[in-house]
Chain A
């Protein structure tokens, strides 16, 4: 059993990566009032995007991380357009986008002759692209509705299934690993018997840097103000000249890129990539955003360190099978005693 300082270090870097995941999660909730349960699948795909870049394309890790973030961000926008936006407002472009997506799926599953499969896949992708443009340029939706609370949850569970099975198709259900020599392994000594490995240091530093960037983006830029304006009132935002659909797409991009970054970093640190790796972080992330106060970015960051510590300490001092049990206990406790969260004000997307 390891000493306490070592456990605190582990809790710190794992908490930092969890914070990235949770901040994106809570950002989307703050703006749209939906829980995007496919955030875990985006996290997983972020890790695999980097994996493809490093192993298949032979790119350096430093280049692969931002590429994976952009990939996960775009995936997140796509999820919004397919799974959430049609629930808010259905446009003719959205219907074309859906049609293209179904064609794309048909092209990607099954074992047809190669050229036929490729042809269908490319057609689907092209139709989707047209749908995207039409959807973006549409002046009026065919219908706007009040979204029932359950619908986005079901949508995003469905999206998770699709994303996980695509990953299993592509990478197999077993564990994939980055090449072993990717990163130096000689640990730094913090104290005599507390160490942190270079990769863990990278996770900690990059996570903290991204948290800082997000905080500046949300609080100091016109884009961040527009995101918070929409969280407050969509109607007023429109009167101010804010293109709400565009800003929502930006929000999903940021959220997905953060989840993707968390996926790459944790995937690297444990060197374990599996299609189901999003499930575990999903529970931790959900706990974090509830404990942090739904929609509060600063609250999520702080709660992430708390949950990270609890996970690490329960593994070290009790038993690894209790890890999720303690996280769950915290979740229930907060829901019973203070449902608005420990750290943040609810709603109002604040840092």
Chain B
């Protein structure tokens, strides 16, 4: 469904991606793991069109979207939930959700809004509140809900568990495993252990390159990965 080949991307003179290739097949969950600064967010932002790649191809369904404008990429159904959630704090919870449906032209937005409230009851209770007033966990629910309102074909989640309390992290991964049934997912995580539990296939990024890849269950048992990213089991 998404096929990235030899992607190079940079910030001015600083090269951040040095030939990244990966694939996300339809219906799967693919994890992108790696240390801080490995280039995970840069990869998502380049695919999303916030950054223009220096070279390489990004095929989504049957189009090469490398260098497309971000709003056009989102309109294709390739939707990113960015790092740090990036909710629109000055707008209400409901307005955030409605803007999630910005690219849609069908008449079922109201129905999806009801469904979103059913799935995330906290959002329903606070629908008229300014989104800035939500807690970190609630903001993550809002970010999920907003992305789902667009009826995405492929969801790219950038560190959805970052900065959340352990109990909320559990909840976030539970939601991701539910989302699995509805849409294809590209999951970026520093919490590699959790990511590998949920993913079908995974890529390990290191210094802007893919250092390793394989089915998630294999990587979970790979001694090098365990040492570098998973730490010892408690």
Interface residues of A (CB under 8 A from B): 139-140, 222, 225-226, 228-229, 231-233, 235-236, 238-244, 347-350
Q: Which residue of A lies closest to B79 (CB)?
A: A239
> Is B71 a contact of A244 with CB atoms below 8 Å?
yes
Q: How far is the CB of A316 from chain B (nearest CB, A)?
A: 40
Contact of A228 among B49, B90, B103 (CB under 8 A): B90
> Is A229 a contact of B88 with CB atoms below 8 Å?
yes
CA distance A265 to B92 in the complex (A): 35
Contact of B91 among A140, A228, A238, A347 (CB under 8 A): A228
B198 contacts partner chain A, Cβ-Cβ < 8 Å: no
Binds A, one of B8-16, B62-70, B166-174, B209-217: B62-70
> Is A238 a contact of B88 with CB atoms below 8 Å?
no
> Is B102 a contact of A222 with CB atoms below 8 Å?
yes
> Is A238 a contact of B50 with CB atoms below 8 Å?
yes
Within 8 A of A (CB), among B193-233: none
User: In the complex, which residues of chain A have a beta carbon less than 8 angstroms from the beta carbon of B48?
Assistant: 239
Q: How far is the CB of B70 from chain A (nearest CB, A)?
A: 4
> Is A239 a contact of B50 with CB atoms below 8 Å?
yes
> Is B90 a contact of A226 with CB atoms below 8 Å?
no
User: In the complex, which residues of chain A have a beta carbon less than 8 angstroms from the beta carbon of B87?
Assistant: 236
CA distance A225 to B90 in the complex (A): 11
Q: How far is the CB of A350 from chain B (nearest CB, A)?
A: 7
CA distance A238 to B48 in the complex (A): 9
Q: Which residue of B lies closest to A228 (CB)?
A: B91
Interface residues of B (CB under 8 A from A): 48-50, 52, 67-71, 74-75, 79-80, 82, 86-91, 95, 98-100, 102-103, 146, 150
Q: How far is the CB of A298 from chain B (nearest CB, A)?
A: 14
If A225-B95, A226-B102, A242-B102 touch, whether A139 touches B69 (CB-CB below 8 Å) is: yes
Residue from the set A235, A239, A242, A347 with the largest chain B CB neighbour count within 10 Å? A239
CA distance A228 to B87 in the complex (A): 13
A-B contact pairs, 29 of them (CB 8 A): A139-B69, A140-B67, A140-B69, A222-B98, A228-B88, A228-B91, A228-B95, A229-B88, A232-B89, A233-B86, A233-B88, A235-B86, A236-B82, A236-B87, A238-B69, A239-B48, A239-B50, A239-B74, A239-B80, A239-B82, A240-B71, A240-B100, A240-B103, A240-B146, A241-B74, A241-B102, A242-B99, A242-B102, A350-B90
> Is B150 a contact of A140 with CB atoms below 8 Å?
no
Mostly, the B contact residues are loop
User: In the complex, which residues of chain B have a beta carbon less than 8 angstroms from the beta carbon of A243?
Assistant: 69, 71
The 8 closest A-B pairs by CB, nearest first: A241-B74, A241-B103, A238-B70, A348-B90, A236-B86, A232-B88, A243-B71, A232-B90
> Is B52 a contact of A240 with CB atoms below 8 Å?
no
Q: How far is the CB of A181 from chain B (nearest CB, A)?
A: 49
Q: How far is the CB of A216 from chain B (nearest CB, A)?
A: 14
Q: Which residue of A lies closest to B104 (CB)?
A: A241
User: In the complex, which residues of chain B have a beta carbon less than 8 angstroms from the beta carbon of A232?
Assistant: 88-91
User: In the complex, which residues of chain A have a beta carbon less than 8 angstroms from the beta carbon of B98?
Assistant: 222, 225
User: In the complex, which residues of chain A have a beta carbon less than 8 angstroms from the beta carbon of B88?
Assistant: 228-229, 232-233, 236
Q: How far is the CB of B59 from chain A (nearest CB, A)?
A: 17
Q: How far is the CB of A204 from chain B (nearest CB, A)?
A: 31
User: In the complex, which residues of chain B have a beta carbon less than 8 angstroms from the beta carbon of A242?
Assistant: 71, 99, 102
> Is A229 a contact of B91 with CB atoms below 8 Å?
yes
CA distance A228 to B130 in the complex (A): 13
> Is A226 a contact of B99 with CB atoms below 8 Å?
yes
Q: Which residue of B lies closest to A140 (CB)?
A: B52
Residue from the set B74, B82, B89, B90 with the largest chain A CB neighbour count within 10 Å? B90
> Is B95 a contact of A239 with CB atoms below 8 Å?
no
Q: Which residue of A lies closest to B49 (CB)?
A: A238
User: In the complex, which residues of chain A have a beta carbon less than 8 angstroms from the beta carbon of B146?
Assistant: 240
Q: How far is the CB of A144 from chain B (nearest CB, A)?
A: 11
> Is A238 a contact of B71 with CB atoms below 8 Å?
yes
If A236-B82, A241-B71 touch, whether A225 touches B99 (CB-CB below 8 Å) is: yes
> Is B89 a contact of A240 with CB atoms below 8 Å?
no
CA distance A244 to B74 in the complex (A): 13
Q: How far is the CB of A38 from chain B (nearest CB, A)?
A: 27
Q: How far is the CB of A257 from chain B (nearest CB, A)?
A: 23
Q: How far is the CB of B88 from chain A (nearest CB, A)?
A: 5
Further contacts, 6 of them, CB under 8 A, given A229-B99, A232-B91: A222-B98, A232-B88, A232-B90, A236-B86, A236-B88, A240-B74
CA distance A165 to B88 in the complex (A): 42
User: In the complex, which residues of chain A have a beta carbon less than 8 angstroms from the beta carbon of B71?
Assistant: 238, 240-244
> Is B74 a contact of A222 with CB atoms below 8 Å?
no
